[in-house]
Amino acid sequence: MSKLKVVLLIILAVVLVDFAVENAQPAPAIKLFKFQLAELPTYLLVYLSLVVGAVIGWVAHGLGIRRKRREAQAAQTASAQQQQQEPQ
């Protein structure tokens, strides 16, 4: 299985490098509210977009897990309290 991972990582690296080489020309300037922010190569814009999207997804996933964990803990606490009150 690890050989398959290595082969897939090598293929991914080759594709990413090829994409960077083919799209090295500068993209049009990025403007926001009439201010020119940067002139970056196209591949950097794409890679930065991917990284920002991955970070946003990772944070959203972490927040969802935290919320589910809190809900499960609250349900467990409520169940334990209900079980303690039943024998009386």
- DSSP conformational letter for 29: P
Q: What is the DSSP pairing of strand 35-38 with strand 30-32?
A: antiparallel
Asked whether the beta carbons of 28 and 45 are under 8 A apart, the reply is no
- DSSP conformational letter for 87: T
> To the nearest whole percent, how much of the chain has pLDDT over 70?
97
Domain coordinates of the chain in residue numbers? 41-78
Tell me what pLDDT residue 56 has.
96
Tell me what pLDDT residue 44 has.
85
> pLDDT tens, 19-60?
888 888 887 777 778 887 778 888 888 888 999 999 999 999
Tell me what pLDDT residue 87 has.
61
Angle CA 14–16–17, to nearest 5: 65
